[in-house]
Amino acid sequence: MGKILGSASLSKEKPLALEAFKEFRGIILSEDIEKANLPAKDMSVTAWVRVDKPIEWGGILGAIQDNGSFERGWLLGYGKESFYFAIASESKKTLTYLKTVLPYSPGYWYHLTGTYDGKVQRIYLDGKLAAESKVQNGPILYPPKGRFALGAYLDENEHYPFEGRLEQVTLWDRSLKPKEIEDLFNERKKLFPSIEALASPNATEDWPTFLHDNEQSGKGAASIKGELSLRWTHRLRMPPKPAWPPPAKQDFWHKKYNLKPRVIFDRAFHIVGAGDRLYLSSSADDQARCLSLTDGKELWSHFAEAPIRLAPTVTGEQILCGGDDGYVRCLAASDGKLLWKSRPAELGHRRIPGNERIIHQHPIRTGILVDGQTAYFGAGIFPTQGTFLFSLDIRNGRILDRESLSISPQGYLSRKNGKLFAPTGRDPAGAFLGHLARRGKPATIPAKSIPEKYPHAFIEAGDLKFAGGKDEVAVFRSDGSLAQTLPVTGKAHSLAVIRGKLIVSTDIGVVHCFSVGEKEPIHVKPADLSSFPKNDSLAKKALTATKATKGYCLVIGTKDAALAASIARLPDLRAIVSSSKAEEAEKLRPDPAAVVRYFIDN
């Protein structure tokens, strides 16, 4: 039995593991190394580990002394970026810190193994050899005094406790073979969700939700083989209209500079897709759309009553999307027909001016996360006015449950380690660094330099990584070397790999499709303007009488829709038509440039 320093607990969710927080100081397994019966020559140490707080000298399991030139024992541990296995032999009388080449990402599970057979020292990460050294030789050299400790770097004058989770830490008195280590990883990896997600077991050729799956792995199928070339472009008539402007770049009061925007979930029309169809939503003209993957032509569209700011979610033959009108809509994937729409009764029907539009007081600004027959979404912007997480039955839209939140849920929901995460904004460059560090070979280009030039979007497909920049998308190999650059129009905020094609959507409303092979690209332009009655003279008289130059114009009923259209064409003015009859509003929606907004009274 060991002696716990401080306090520790078991995690509540699976896998059950030792949970070490600030109060944890380690576990002393033996106060006397000589009486601990530790391996003398051959040894292996394995651990399932999740580091939550990286530090310079972190310990998982070991019996070590490292004071100046006096170096003895061994330790399986971690630094701020990499794992290591340190050992000292009688022939060298110094420690060799053998490190993994790739950095680890905090908050993710890893299977770590260190082995020594008297001649070769090795470290394995997730069942694969990460590094080896032949510096040490002969029996292990232990210090005359010392302690055998779990969950801490502990020697005579240093004590650095572990923060994170440990599961099944094992010490062997022999050197495990590579096949044994690989088997140990494969036998139990399904118990650790983050490992399973990052290994992309569900890397299908479809891309049914934002960043591919509920874990937001950003990993698609390895379906691109060869050089990419432009297949088609589709330019939407109206570019994205983000809810929030970029923040000030400097905060002099708090001495913060070069600030980057975090609430960027609607900077582009994010793309999802299944089969030979793509789906996207518009914050500019309030529509969900379906495009052909083959040629980029529009197959159908569906109007909401306010902006739809996030990508739809594809589930079977249904498309789910939430909008600023407070509704979750379920559409038929085949033709866009409305199957049902649902708005929680407790949200009420009140509409307010918001982000230069008329929106519901509790808009839906999260993606729709589908888990089986249940969908989850957030509603509301300001916690003081009520923000919520809801679940509903995707078969009929019936609300199942509600939970009050203390955050502003804006962005895409994700599920990791069995938990549901509601975002408040995301840092795509930071996310990319984590994924780049998590898998693959050491980058030939410094990893930190890649997000500087391509900061907008990052995904993977097999051995290829795709990074979105300004007027350009870069294709990187798994070792970080540049394979290809692809010109695009605008900032590439949305990337997806669907059925062997790379789909790019930019901040100016252009969707690009790249695939392998040479063909003449197709360019799909916006549809011609529809004819729509207007009454410019009456509009000018109304504005002259009110002396209005900017703001909102609310028109009750569809009789004066021509007046609303004329007002909407003027700068800095918004025109909204309210109708009690859905069929009348539907007939009038396809107005020129969709400048008039309609909602149905209810």
Size of the chain, expressed as the number of residues it contains: 602
Q: What whole-number distance in Å separates Cα of residue 341 and Cα of residue 306?
A: 14
Q: What is the DSSP letter of 33?
A: G
The verdict on 7 and 84 lying in the same domain is yes
Question: Which of 180, 197, 214 is the endpoint of a domain?
Answer: 197
- pLDDT-flagged residues of the chain (< 50): 196-202, 251-254, 425-432, 435-444, 446, 592-594
CB 483 within 8 A of CB 464: yes
The predicted structure's pLDDT at residue 432: 46
The verdict on 184 and 263 lying in the same domain is no
The verdict on 28 and 172 lying in the same domain is yes
Residue 458 lies in a domain: yes
The verdict on 263 and 335 lying in the same domain is yes
The verdict on 92 and 187 lying in the same domain is yes
The predicted structure's pLDDT at residue 518: 78
Question: Which of 197, 212, 229 is the endpoint of a domain?
Answer: 197
Report CA-CA distances (Å) from 209 to 56, 106, 190, 271.
Answer: 38, 25, 23, 8
**Rg of the chain, C-alpha, whole Å:** 29
The predicted structure's pLDDT at residue 575: 79
Q: How many structural domains compose the chain? A: 3
In DSSP notation, 326-362 reads S-EEEEETTT--EEEEE--GGG-S-EEEETTEEEESS
The predicted structure's pLDDT at residue 237: 87
Q: Give the pair of three-digit tokens for residue 205.
A: 């050729």
The verdict on 79 and 113 lying in the same domain is yes
The verdict on 230 and 373 lying in the same domain is yes
The verdict on 228 and 306 lying in the same domain is yes
Residue 191 lies in a domain: yes
The verdict on whether omega for the bond into residue 15 sits within 30 degrees of 0, i.e. cis, is yes
Q: What whole-number distance in Å separates Cα of residue 483 and Cα of residue 477?
A: 6
What CATH number has the domain bearing residue 298? 2.40.128.630
Host domain of residue 21: 3-197
Question: What is the SS3 assignment for 444?
Answer: coil
Strands 272-274 and 277-281: antiparallel
The predicted structure's pLDDT at residue 427: 47
Residue 531 lies in a domain: no
Residue 338 lies in a domain: yes
Strand order from edge to edge, sheet including 482-498:
219-220, 457-461, 464-477, 482-498, 501-506, 510-516, 228-235, 522-524
The verdict on 567 and 499 lying in the same domain is no
Q: What whole-number distance in Å separates Cα of residue 57 and Cα of residue 75?
A: 11
Contacts of residue 396, defined as CB under 8 A and 6 or more positions apart, other chains included, come to 340
Contacts of residue 412, defined as CB under 8 A and 6 or more positions apart, other chains included, come to 209, 210, 211, 216, 265, 310, 311, 366, 367, 369, 423, 426
CB 89 within 8 A of CB 98: no
Q: What whole-number distance in Å separates Cα of residue 83 and Cα of residue 62?
A: 14
Q: What whole-number distance in Å separates Cα of residue 210 and Cα of residue 292?
A: 18
The predicted structure's pLDDT at residue 426: 44
Residue 529 lies in a domain: no
The verdict on 330 and 434 lying in the same domain is yes
The verdict on 272 and 293 lying in the same domain is yes
Q: Give the pair of three-digit tokens for residue 366.
A: 């999260």
Q: Letter for the amino acid at 34?
A: E
Q: How far is CA 13 from the centre of its chain?
A: 22
**Could you give the angle at the alpha carbon of 175 between the alpha carbons of 170 and 176, nearest 5°?**
70
Q: What whole-number distance in Å separates Cα of residue 79 and Cα of residue 460?
A: 27
Question: Quick one: 548 exposed, middle or buried, by C-beta within 10 A (0-12, 13-18, 19+)?
Answer: middle
Q: What is the DSSP letter of 513?
A: E
Residue 555 lies in a domain: yes
Contacts of residue 245, defined as CB under 8 A and 6 or more positions apart, other chains included, come to none
The predicted structure's pLDDT at residue 11: 86
CB 158 within 8 A of CB 57: yes
The verdict on 517 and 556 lying in the same domain is no
Q: What whole-number distance in Å separates Cα of residue 364 and Cα of residue 388?
A: 10
Question: Which of 197, 212, 239 is the endpoint of a domain?
Answer: 197
Q: Letter for the amino acid at 550?
A: K
Strand order from edge to edge, sheet including 95-99:
3-6, 24-30, 148-150, 58-67, 70-78, 83-88, 95-99
Q: Taking Cα atoms as reference points, which of 506, 500, 502, 475 lies closest to residue 488?
A: 506
Q: What whole-number distance in Å separates Cα of residue 317 and Cα of residue 320?
A: 10
Residue 530 lies in a domain: no
Q: How many alpha carbons fall within 13 Å on the CB side of residue 478?
A: 10
